[in-house]
Structure 1
Amino acid sequence: MDWVAKSKLFVFPLCLVPFGWLVYAVVTNQLGPDPANTLTRDLGEWALIMLCASLAITPLRKVTGVNKLIRFRRMIGLFSLFYAVLHVMAYLAFMLGWDWQILLEDLVQRPYIIVGALAVLILSALGVTSTKKMMRRLGKRWAKLHKLVYLAAGLVVLHFIWLSKSDYTESVFYLAIVVGLFAFRLPFKWQRTQ
């Protein structure tokens, strides 16, 4: 077993730690005065953190020269989708009580819901096409499709910004990370076009 495979045995459960903590917090009633909102918000934030971590793999690989790091990107990206789906499920179950009429009203009145939904749809498409079989089937189109991850990241940050009511510190922090990760790739893209 090479070091990447051994490391995955550590990284996989590490990515599940936030989920374990949230389950524990729900069971022990430690989510504060508005547990539904806290759970929904925390799941969404963990989706964004995992998305940023998956986007950081390529810059980290370029800086360190350790190309095998790329083998972590799919797993961490799928964890982003996992937390995003749980975020949506928590919103539908605990905030809306599965009332589709309220959801339709939210879609009209709160554009951040539409932006978040688009991001989850993109992440879902990327998740479905992340297998080796789909990579072979899509060929060159696979790489083009998976560049949509940057659009998804931008939409998630916009969703996060619009949700911020007064303190934008966290939103600006995540915006800076996403912009920085995107900007890091530009010189390499420029070199390939020369």
Structure 2
Amino acid sequence: MSVAQSVNAAVRGIPAWPLYPLLLLPGLWLFWSVLQNPGPNPVETLEHGLGEYALKALILGLLITPLRDLLRINLVKYRRAIGLMAFFYVAAHLVVYLFLDQQLNWGAIFRDITKRPYIIVGVLSFLILIPLALTSNNASIRKLGPLVWRRLHWGVYPAVILGAVHFVLMKKTWQVEPLTYLAIFCVLVGYRGWKALRRT
């Protein structure tokens, strides 16, 4: 039995639902760590940490297709759980910004949204992800039809690129970590684009 067959056989009987609490653990640990050791700027630590967990979860979700195509490892049944948890971290990142960072100062929030490029890009990414999260269920697939549903969920590709650009712009200097995230997303999205071109 090959490695891929062994992995597929191992995960066949493992349901997707345990991924929700499992992927929630890093966020809970981050929150607990900030409570225990706030540091000079606990809100920024929490806000940035949640944003990075969102990017990591999005990478996991995008890796599922190349793993299946190139290594014959089929983890597709876990993609929805990973995607929803990625959206959870994006939403948590936004909630921390609104409630703890800006303390619901709508004037300051509006100025950020209209004047700071990284905030604008981040908001656009979040807005694209909202309909994807709302339709990540079997009822939406039946209502929209598989073709329309699949085309709607292509929105994840511009959303993840915008998310990575948001991270790069937020740092204000060319740092290795955000550029690495951007490069990984470009490769994964580029792979899907190359695959689509091959089909046509």
Structure 1 length as normaliser, TM-score? Answer: 0.91
Inter-CA distance 31–188: structure 2 relative to 1 (3 Å threshold): same
Contact 1:4/1:71 (8 A) holds in 2: no
Partner of 1:189: 196
1:4/1:84 Cα in 2 relative to 1: closer, same or farther (>3 Å)? farther
Aligned to 1:62: 69
Q: Quick one: distance in 1 between partners of 2:150 and 2:20?
A: 24
Is there any run of 5+ residues in structure 1 with no aligned partner, and where?
A: none
Contact 1:112/1:163 (CA < 8 Å) preserved in 2?
A: yes
1:159 aligns with 2:171: no
Q: 2:6 corresponds to which residue?
A: none
Structure 2 unaligned segments of length 5 or more: list them.
1-9
Distance 1:116 1:5, change over 3 A: farther
Q: Deviation of residue 9 (structure 1)?
A: 5.6
Number of aligned positions between the proteins:
190
Contact 1:157 1:171 (8 Å CA) reproduced: yes
Residue type of the partner of 2:28? G
- Using structure 2 for the length normalisation, give the TM-score: 0.88
1:22 to 16, 30, 36: 30
CA shift for structure 1 position 137: 1.0
Specify the alignment match of 1:91 in structure 2: 97
Letter paired with 1:88: L
Asked whether 1:178 is paired with 2:185, we answer yes
Checking the alignment, whether the CA contact within 8 Å between 1:43 and 1:86 is kept in structure 2 is yes
Q: Which amino acid aligns with 1:60?
A: L
For 2:82, the aligned partner's letter is I
When the two chains are superposed, the root-mean-square deviation of aligned CA atoms in Å is 1.7
3-state SS in 2 of match to 1:56: helix
Aligned-partner residue type, residue 50 of structure 1: A
Q: CA deviation at 1:21?
A: 0.7
Which residue of 1 is the match for residue 11 of structure 2?
Answer: 3
1:49 to 48, 52, 56: 56
